Amino acid sequence: MIKGIGASQGYGIGTAVIINDTITDYSNIKFTDAKTQKNRLKNAINQFISETEELAADVKKSAGSKEAEILEGHIVMLSDPLMQTQMSDNIDAGFVAEKAVDTVCNMFIDMFSSANDELTSQRASDIKDIKTRLLNILLGIKSIDISHVPKHSVLIAKDFTPSMTSRINPNNVSAIITQIGGITSHSAILARAMGIPAVLSVPDATKKIRNKDIIIADGFKGKIFVNPSAQELEYYSSLQTEYLKQKDSLMAYIGKETITQDGIKKSVYANIGRPEDVQNVLHCSGEGIGLFRTEFLFMDRNQEPDEEEQFEAYSTAARAMDCREVIIRTLDIGGDKEIPYLKIEKEDNPFLGHRGIRYCLDNPKLFKKQIRAILRAAVYGCIKIMLPLVTCVEEVQQAKALIKECEAELNEKKIEYKSVALGVMIETPAAVLISDILAREAEFFSIGTNDLTGYTMAVDRGNAKVCNLYDAMQPAVLRAIEITIKNAKREGIQVGMCGEAAADTRLIPKLIEWGLDEFSVNPGSILQTRKAICEYKSKNPDEK
């Protein structure tokens, strides 16, 4: 048995297909003149963009618009004038087009790889994908085509780039296995969207597994069995059959109220990053948006979105949700996320640095622009504001003061707006310990278990060596969650959860017992979460 990180749920059983990296050797390419090399580069970029647009269109059909944006982001990156100018300058210096691409891309890869957070590090993987595909186009090398592998194939590679993953036919692929990557990597996101089990961060997977080996991949526990015994095959085949039956049974929960067996009403909301994601939420009858991650509006672009663009994004989501709650998290960026145009200073330990609400309060012009856009958008639906990474009461009070300033400015300009409820994300031990005090300042809580688990357990979820500690079922994390919920209940405010743990069926019974009101999950987990809540029955029949 080989262990990795379970990144996409399900059980995959099939035959191994090893995907080896292509070799891009351009040592025999000779420099002729700058004009010729620039034309080669221009043609390669145009071909890259055309092919990527086709891939994105295919992904939009098979996985959804959110997943297609991963590939569309590659076009944005390569279209960056800075990147293209640097390539052109390298050609002027005597580099062939291939070396110009290699040099500039490697510079960006090194820059993104040095970041301490997984989201920014993922940009390095995107640039590697862009570099490899551009070099292949320049050298006339046919890209790896995994769209025609036989049925019941288990694909194994060092990594699956977004362009590779987008070519996967879910009908033929039972599972994917990689040597690198974590639960937030693009290969994991695409695998989950396509419903393909995935196990990532498997050391030396391409060496330990050979073509045509029989493979079992457990996407829940991150286990891989190579040439399993008859008993193991029988056991996992039964698990696979039962899991697929359960997935089919979830359709019965579309449009169903989220009520426990004891008649306790709960709400299942969804986490989104862009207004377009609302359609996925509505498809699964999500009862609201528990987390709108606004930082995605600021990423993969050359300048910040202005107030009007933000207003359009927030109001579009609010209209689409048709009076259901939309909880907008204010800009959660800082030293751990690379957004060049904001000129964020590099920090030695960005997760403990200038990020979240700290960054916004120190940049009031940027922050107020977002607040005004939210207040204006609130006219078109039921919007709430949520502050990230709060660690002290003063941060909430300062944010309240800025909101009042924004309301005064809108009043002065006679621009229509609506006051909104202000909530706090509980995602640090500090916030947990003063949650009784914060509950008197905030109108609702949302527990962000992803960061809360990491900060509480002092563990990096992307580090395979310690990932076993990254678990919301750890007693310290459970205690933090229970304290937060009970303090919220004492002060009479609503409390939800927007981390991955909100969809964890092991934890859901405890969350109900403690009094959690709202479970905000990825759209694909809405029905499973609703099912778990609807099946819950308290140990005490009289408990309501």
Supply the DSSP string of 451-479, one letter for each residue. HHHHHHHT--TT-TTTGGG--TTSHHHHH
Taking alpha carbons only, the member of 346, 401, 411, 341 closest to residue 376 is 411
Which is it for the CA torsion 269, 271, 275, 278, positive or negative? negative
Rounded to a whole number of angstroms, the CA Rg of the chain reads: 24
Contacts of 109 (CB under 8 A, 6+ apart): 124, 127, 128, 131
3-state secondary structure of 66: helix
Number of H helices, E strands in the chain: 20, 16
Phi, psi angle pair for 174, to nearest 5°: -85, -30
Q: Give the integer Cα–Cα distance in Å for 278 and 286.
A: 9
392 is catalytic: no
498 is catalytic: yes
Q: What share of the chain is helix, strand, coil (3-state, %, to 5)?
A: 50, 15, 35
Tell me which amino acid residue 10 is: G
Q: Of residues 105, 360, 467, 498, which has the active-site annotation? A: 498
Q: Give the integer Cα–Cα distance in Å for 295 and 283.
A: 24
β-sheet bridge partners, residue 446? 425, 496
Sheet holding 11-19, edge to edge: 2-3, 223-226, 214-218, 11-19, 153-157, 173-178, 198-200, 5-8
Q: Give the integer Cα–Cα distance in Å for 400 and 357.
A: 12
Q: Of residues 74, 186, 284, 467, which has the active-site annotation? A: 186
C-beta of residue 407 within 8 angstroms of C-beta of residue 252: no
Q: Give the integer Cα–Cα distance in Å for 179 and 207.
A: 10
Q: Residue 3, Cβ neighbours under 10 Å: how many?
A: 17
Phi, psi angle pair for 292, to nearest 5°: -105, 105
How many residues make up the chain in this entry? Answer: 544
The DSSP output letter for 443 is S
Q: Give the integer Cα–Cα distance in Å for 51 and 57.
A: 10
Q: Give the integer Cα–Cα distance in Å for 105 and 130.
A: 8
Taking alpha carbons only, the member of 5, 297, 319, 17 closest to residue 153 is 17
Active site residues: 186, 498
